[in-house]
Amino acid sequence: MRANPEVLILEDDAETLDELQDHFARRRFHPLGARSASRALSLLENNRYSSRPVLAIIDWDLGKAPDRSASSGDVLSRLARELRECPVIVYSQNIDAFNVRSQIQRSHPRALLHDKRDGDASLLERIDRMLDRTVGDLRIHDGTVVVHLPSLDQHHHREAIRLVVHHPEIVTFHSDTATKAVRRFGEWLHTHNSAVRLVSHGNRKYRLSVTASEGAAQPSDEA
Amino acid sequence: MGVTDAPWMLGVRAPDRGRAILVVTVDGELAVAVHDAVPGGMAVIRDARSEDADEITAACIPWPWMVIGSAVSLTPALASVLRHRPVLTYWLGDPAAGLPGHARYFDRPAALLDAVRRACVADVGGMRLAPGSGVELDDGTLMRGATLESLVAAYPHGFALPTHNFRAVSNALARHNAGWSAQRDGACVRLVRSHVGAAR
C-alpha cells in the first residue's frame, strides 16, 4: 500500500488556491491547501507523524488571508526546522527586492524563489518541471512512481520520489522505515544497472548521483 | 508581509550539518548576491546580522565552510571559530579586527562573488566538493570531513592554523592513496602533492 505524496500549498487567494489544488489532485498528489499561515501550521502539525510533504508552495504575501495570527515567514521557518528535506517554492510580487529575498532566505535558507508577476501558469510549469524530473535514466511519472526508462520498471515509494525530486541535494530521512525504503531503492537501482546510484552521507542522509558518462548530459536542474 | 514575529525561530538559525556559507552584513544584500552565485545544491547560504551571527555560527555543524562579511565587526563566537577552524574567510571592504591570517580581502563584490564561485567548483587532482557535503574523488569515492572540504576549496591557498588541525585529513588522504597531503607551506597549511601514493 502507498499513499499519494502530499503537497503543502499556502495561498491566500481562494481562486488561485483551488486552481493549485486541482492541478496537484489531477497529478495524483494529495494537496494540503491553506489560505492562512496558521492553517498551514496546523496542517503541518496534524501530519507530523503520518507523512511529510514532498513539496511546499508558499505565497509570501498573505494580504487576503482570513486569519493573520501567523505569517508566511512562520511557516517557512517551521519547514526549515522540521521538514528540511521538503523542497519549498516561495512566490511573491516583490521577489526582486533584495530585502524581501533576504527575509525569505532568513526564514528558509533553502527556499526556491518565484516571481508572482509571471502568472500562475508560470508557477505551474515550474512545479511540473520539478515533479516530472528526469535524473539519469530515471523519471518520475504522475508524481507517484519512479520509472527506470531503459526497462520501464517502476519503483513505488515516496522516499524514492523525494530523492529524485531533490537531486543533486542531500535528503535526510527521519525514520528506520524511511531509511529501509531508501536502501531498497538503492538496491533496486543496482539490480537495474541504473546510471543513478544511491550515495550515503551517514546519519540517515542520502543523495542520488549520476555516473559521469550519463551525468554529463544531465541538467543539474531545478530551473 | 511574511516576516515572522519570532526571530529566534528563523530557519536560518536551525542547526544543520550541510555545507554552509555564513554571510554577515548589515542588510542582507550581499547574501542575496552570494545565493545567486553559488551553484545549486552546493552549499546553504546563511544570511546573518551582527545580532544573530553567533547563534547562526553555532548552528553550522561542525562549523561554517565559508564566512563572508562586510561592514560589520566580528562577534565573539564567530571570531573564535575563525581563529581555531579552517574556515574560508572572504571580506568585502574594510577588514574587521581579528580576522585570521588566511582571510582574503576584496574591494568589489564582483571579485568576491567570482572567488566564491571558484571555491565551489575547485578541482584538486580530481578531488571536488560533492553537493551538500563531502569531497568526491575521481573514482566516485566520497570522503567526509569539513577540514578536507576547506582545504580543497582554498587550494592553492591554505589556512594559518596549527598543523595538528590537519593530521586527520593527511591520514585519510594517505588511506585513500590520493597522492595529496596537508602540509605547512610558510605561514599556512595547504594541500600539496605527496611523494607517495598514486597521484590522480
Is the predicted pLDDT of residue B160 greater than 90, yes or no?
yes
Asked if A201 has any chain B CB less than 8 Å from its own CB, the reply is: yes
Give the mean pLDDT of B129-146.
90
Query: So what CATH class is B7-120?
Result: alpha beta
- Are A201 and B27 an interchain contact pair (Cβ–Cβ within 8 Å)? no
Q: How far apart are CA A14 and CA B154, in angstroms?
A: 51
- Are B2 and A80 an interchain contact pair (Cβ–Cβ within 8 Å)? no
Asked if A203 has any chain B CB less than 8 Å from its own CB, the reply is: yes
| Closest-CA residue to B6 (of A36, A48, A73, A103) | A73
Q: What percent of chain B has pLDDT over 70?
A: 96
Which residues of chain A have a CB within 8 Å of the CB of B133?
Answer: 170, 201, 205
Residue type, A22: D
Residues near B79 by beta carbon (within 8 Å), at least 6 away in sequence: B98
Asked if A110 has any chain B CB less than 8 Å from its own CB, the reply is: yes
Residue A4 sits at the vertex; the CA angle it makes with A159 and A146, to the nearest 5 degrees, is: 50
Name all contacts of B184-188 with Cβ < 8 Å and 24+ positions apart: B185/B158, B187/B101, B187/B160, B188/B101, B188/B102, B188/B157, B188/B158, B188/B159, B188/B160
Lowest-confidence region among A1-10, A53-62, B31-40, B151-160: A1-10
Asked if B45 has any chain A CB less than 8 Å from its own CB, the reply is: yes
- Are A201 and B47 an interchain contact pair (Cβ–Cβ within 8 Å)? no
- Element holding A82 (H helix, E strand): helix A72-82
- Are B11 and A106 an interchain contact pair (Cβ–Cβ within 8 Å)? yes
Residue type, A132: D
- Are A205 and B17 an interchain contact pair (Cβ–Cβ within 8 Å)? yes
Q: Write out residues in chain A with pLDDT < 50, as ranges.
A: 1, 214-223
CA B58 to chain centre: 14
Query: How many helices and strands, by DSSP H and E, does chain A display?
Result: 8, 12
What's the confidence (pLDDT) of residue B70?
Answer: 97
The residues with which B92 forms a beta bridge, in sequence order, are B70, B106
Q: Where are the domains of chain B?
A: 7-120, 123-193
Q: Which of A12, A96, A102 has the highest number of chain B CBs within 10 A, making it the mutation to test binding with B?
A: A102
Q: Which residue has the cell 519547514?
A: A79
What's the confidence (pLDDT) of residue A1?
Answer: 42
- Are A81 and B46 an interchain contact pair (Cβ–Cβ within 8 Å)? no
Cell of B7: 526571530
Asked if B137 has any chain A CB less than 8 Å from its own CB, the reply is: no
Give the mean pLDDT of B137-149.
90
What's the confidence (pLDDT) of residue B194?
Answer: 86
Residue type, A16: T
What's the confidence (pLDDT) of residue A127?
Answer: 87
Of B9, B11, B132, nearest to A169 by CB-CB distance is B132
- Under a CB-based contact definition with an 8 Å cutoff, are residues A77 and B4 in contact? yes
What's the confidence (pLDDT) of residue A49?
Answer: 61
What's the confidence (pLDDT) of residue A29?
Answer: 84
If you measure CA to CA, which chain A residue comes closest to B9? A77
pLDDT in tens, B65-122: 999 999 999 999 999 999 999 999 999 999 999 999 999 999 999 999 999 999 999 9
Q: What is the ipTM of this complex?
A: 0.90
- Are B6 and A72 an interchain contact pair (Cβ–Cβ within 8 Å)? no
Q: How far is A169 from chain B (nearest CA, A)?
A: 5
Q: How far is A74 from chain B (nearest CA, A)?
A: 5
Is the predicted pLDDT of residue B199 greater than 60, yes or no?
no
User: What's the order of all strands across the beta sheet hosting A30-34?
Assistant: A30-34, A6-10, A55-59, A88-92, A112-115
- Element holding B84 (H helix, E strand): helix B76-84
Of B2, B32, B134, nearest to A201 by CB-CB distance is B134
What's the confidence (pLDDT) of residue A120?
Answer: 86
Q: How far apart are CA A9 and CA A36, in angstroms?
A: 10
How much is the CA Rg of chain A, to the nearest whole Å? 17
Q: How far apart are CA A200 and CA A205, in angstroms?
A: 6
